[in-house]
């Protein structure tokens, strides 16, 4: 039996416009693998976890034994699960898949069963201060060939709205050395959101798929009302309508609306979505490689989802590095129940630090044919962008109550 012992485990933190944590595993024969370990706003917790508690357990292990390494790290921790643990585990898992595919001389998707489709359909983000601005941004995506666009617009009377930023193309919410404070009004938002989609359908027509992200801001009955109000505009999905810590909350939303529901970018394991999937309470599961235990665990979530008619819809914001983007594309190209992949373009600085084989054309992405993930880390360039502490915003209701961001 061929053995590929792990010789070295390194963690790199770089900030080419935003922070990324990258794990690099090197085997005794010199093969390297990369894994993304970025947890937006809590990056250094994962760095410490990897360096102090995971790396010592990897040295000398056979890099080929991905499933066994996953189970050993997960079950062996005793305190298992949660975003820090599962992000660290994901980084190890993806780096090992990268190594295995490089050793096989194949792009990773070939080891995951081969291509199930010609490409991975993606959606972009159109955001604007007003409905008109948002529609103008959406038209730019249509012109670039996108088949699906997420629309977020500022709400009159509210100083800021989730998803709306000055930099339209490279949206970056983690913008403060201390958290920025936003104010939220559910009633202003609920009155405004349907107007956005009515105007969007009039201006963009019906051939483009439209999506919307509520970012965990509604109660179940409010989400039900919004889902019903949006039904005439035929959304591809309504995302994160309510905080999903209580999976049963989705029963109320589901009973009231046929607007398709997506959830799960903050989920770290199958246990966060087991009820949602088994009861058919959602249509798309947004768990993704980096925060849900890597390719090994995400495949198990996707397999459960498949038998319940739930499709994948992996998170792909800019705080997920090009290493995750590549992993998501290999996964999306091969998985049987692929739905849609989010793609927020990285800045040119980020693309330069992480040269990659994946590409975009005609609204679809492809991971490329390079062996492994097809992403490298330019360590020299990465070192020129030192870590900068950055927090996601926090949210308060108009009366000052601390709320979900
Ligand atoms: O759907 C999305 O992409 C968002 O919800 C993210 O932009 C999210 O706010 C960030 O990933 C938080 O780190
Ligand atoms: Mg989201």
Q: Where are the domains of the chain?
A: 111-369
In angstroms, what is the span from residue 317 Cα to ligand 1's centroid?
Answer: 5
Ligand 1: does its nearest atom lie under 6 Å from the Cβ of 213?
yes
The two tokens of residue 16 are: 């080419």
Say how many C-beta atoms besides its own lie within 10 A of residue 169's C-beta.
14
Ligand 1: does its nearest atom lie under 6 Å from the Cβ of 317?
yes
Determine what percent of the chain is predicted with pLDDT higher than 70.
100
Among the bound ligands, the one closest to the CA of 393: 1
Measured distance CA(294)–CA(320) in Å, rounded: 13
| Assigned fold of 111-369 | TIM Barrel (3.20.20)
Atom of ligand 1 nearest to the CA of 150: 1
- For 70, counting Cβ atoms within 10 Å of its Cβ (0-12 exposed, 13-18 middle, 19+ buried), the class is buried
In angstroms, what is the span from residue 129 Cα to ligand 1's centroid?
Answer: 18
Phi and psi of 237, rounded to 5°?
-160, 155
Residue nearest atom 6 of ligand 1, based on CA coordinates: 317
Phi-psi region of 79 (alpha: psi -120 to 50; beta: other; left: phi over 0): beta
Ligand 1: does its nearest atom lie under 6 Å from the Cβ of 173?
yes
Among the bound ligands, the one closest to the CA of 239: 2
Residue nearest atom 7 of ligand 1, based on CA coordinates: 317
State which of 173, 286, 340 you would mutate to test the pocket of ligand 1, scoring each by most atoms of that ligand within 8 A of its C-beta.
173
Residue nearest atom 2 of ligand 1, based on CA coordinates: 317
Identify the band that residue 169 occupies on the pLDDT scale cut at 50, 70 and 90: confident
Inform me whether the pLDDT recorded for 171 exceeds 90. Answer: no
Among the bound ligands, the one closest to the CA of 38: 1
Nearest to 117 by CA among 279, 276, 363, 333: 333
Estimate to the nearest angstrom the gap between the alpha carbon of 31 and the chain centroid.
27
State which of 123, 169, 265, 268 you would mutate to test the pocket of ligand 1, scoring each by most atoms of that ligand within 8 A of its C-beta.
265
In the chain the first and final C-alpha atoms are separated, in Å, by 51
Residue 103: what pLDDT? 98
Report the side by side order of strands in the sheet with 32-36: 6-14, 20-27, 32-36
What digits encode the pLDDT tens for the residues 229-283?
999 999 999 999 999 999 999 999 999 999 999 999 999 999 999 999 999 999 9
Residue 2: what pLDDT? 87
Atom of ligand 1 nearest to the CA of 286: 1
Ligand 1: does its nearest atom lie under 6 Å from the Cβ of 165?
no
In angstroms, what is the span from residue 288 Cα to ligand 2's centroid?
Answer: 12
SS (HEC) of the chain = CCCCEEEEEEEEEECCCCCEEEEEEEECCCCEEEEECCCCCCHHHHHHHHHHHHHHHHCCCECCCHHHHHHHHHHHCCCCCCHHHHHHHHHHHHHHHHHHHHHHCCEHHHHCCCCCCCCEEEEEEEEECCHHHHHHHHHHHHHHCCCEEEEEECCCCCCCCCCCCCCCCCCCCCCECCCCEEEECHHHHHHHHHHHHHHHHHHHCCCCEEEEECCCCCCHHHHHHHHHHHHHHCCCEEECCCCCCCCCHHHHHHHHCCCCEEECCCCCCHHHCHHHHHCCCCCEECCCCCCCCHHHHHHHHHHHHHHCCCEECCCCCCCCCHHHHHHHHHHHHHCCCCCCEECCCCCHHHHHHCCECCEEECCEEECCCCCECCECCCHHHHHCCCCCCCECCEEEECCCCEECC
* Residue from 64, 125, 215, 346 carrying the catalytic annotation: 215
Ligand 1: does its nearest atom lie under 6 Å from the Cβ of 265?
yes
**Catalytic residue flag (residue 215):** yes
CA angle 273, 126, 286 (to 5 degrees): 10
What digits encode the pLDDT tens for the residues 94-138?
999 999 999 999 999 999 999 999 999 999 999 999 999 999 999
Among the bound ligands, the one closest to the CA of 163: 1
Ligand 1: does its nearest atom lie under 6 Å from the Cβ of 83?
no
Ligand 1: does its nearest atom lie under 6 Å from the Cβ of 40?
yes
**Catalytic residue flag (residue 192):** no
Determine what percent of the chain is predicted with pLDDT higher than 90.
96
Inform me whether the pLDDT recorded for 170 exceeds 90. Answer: no
Measured distance CA(354)–CA(366) in Å, rounded: 16
| CB proximity list for 387: less than 8 A, separation 6 or greater | 13, 14, 15, 19, 43, 44
What digits encode the pLDDT tens for the residues 323-372?
999 999 999 999 999 999 999 999 999 999 999 999 999 999 999 999 99
Ligand 1: does its nearest atom lie under 6 Å from the Cβ of 334?
no
In angstroms, what is the span from residue 392 Cα to ligand 1's centroid?
Answer: 10
Measured distance CA(54)–CA(61) in Å, rounded: 12
């Amino acid at each position: 039996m061929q053995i590929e012992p792990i010789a070295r485990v390194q963690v790199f933190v770089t900030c080419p416009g935003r922070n990324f944590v990258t794990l690099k595993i090197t085997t005794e024969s010199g093969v390297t693998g990369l894994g993304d370990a970025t947890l937006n706003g809590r990056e250094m917790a994962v760095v410490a976890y990897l360096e102090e508690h995971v790396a010592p357990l990897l040295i000398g292990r056979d890099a080929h034994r991905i499933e066994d390494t996953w189970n050993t790290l997960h079950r062996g921790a005793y305190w298992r699960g949660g975003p820090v643990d599962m992000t660290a585990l994901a980084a190890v898992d993806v780096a090992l898949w990268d190594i295995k595919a490089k050793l096989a001389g194949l792009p990773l998707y070939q080891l995951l069963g081969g291509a199930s489709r010609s490409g991975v359909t993606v959606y972009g983000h159109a955001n604007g201060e007003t409905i008109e601005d948002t529609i103008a941004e959406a038209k730019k995506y249509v012109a670039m060939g996108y088949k699906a666009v997420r629309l977020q617009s500022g709400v009159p009377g509210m100083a800021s709205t989730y998803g709306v930023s000055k930099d339209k193309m490279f949206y970056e919410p983690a913008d403060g050395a201390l958290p920025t404070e936003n104010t939220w009004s559910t009633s202003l938002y609920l009155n405004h959101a349907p107007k956005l989609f009515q105007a969007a359908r009039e201006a963009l027509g019906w051939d483009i798929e439209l999506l919307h992200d509520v970012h965990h801001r509604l109660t179940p009955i409010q989400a039900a009302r919004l889902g019903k109000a949006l039904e005439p505009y035929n959304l591809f999905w309504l995302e994160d309508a309510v905080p999903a810590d209580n999976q049963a909350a989705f029963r109320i939303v589901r009973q009231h609306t046929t607007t398709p529901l997506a959830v799960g970018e903050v989920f770290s394991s199958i246990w966060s979505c087991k009820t949602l999937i088994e009861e058919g309470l959602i249509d798309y599961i947004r768990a993704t490689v980096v925060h849900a235990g890597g390719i090994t665990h995400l495949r198990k979530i996707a397999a459960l989802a498949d038998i319940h008619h739930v499709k994948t819809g992996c998170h792909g914001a800019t705080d997920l590095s090009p290493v995750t983007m590549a992993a998501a594309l290999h996964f999306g190209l091969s998985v049987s129940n692929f739905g849609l992949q989010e793609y927020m373009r990285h800045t040119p600085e980020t693309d330069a630090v992480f040269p990659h084989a994946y590409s975009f054309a005609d609204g679809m992405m492809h991971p490329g044919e390079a062996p492994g993930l097809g992403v490298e880390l330019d360590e020299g360039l990465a070192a020129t962008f030192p870590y900068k502490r950055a927090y996601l915003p926090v949210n308060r209701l108009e009366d000052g109550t601390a709320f979900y961001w």
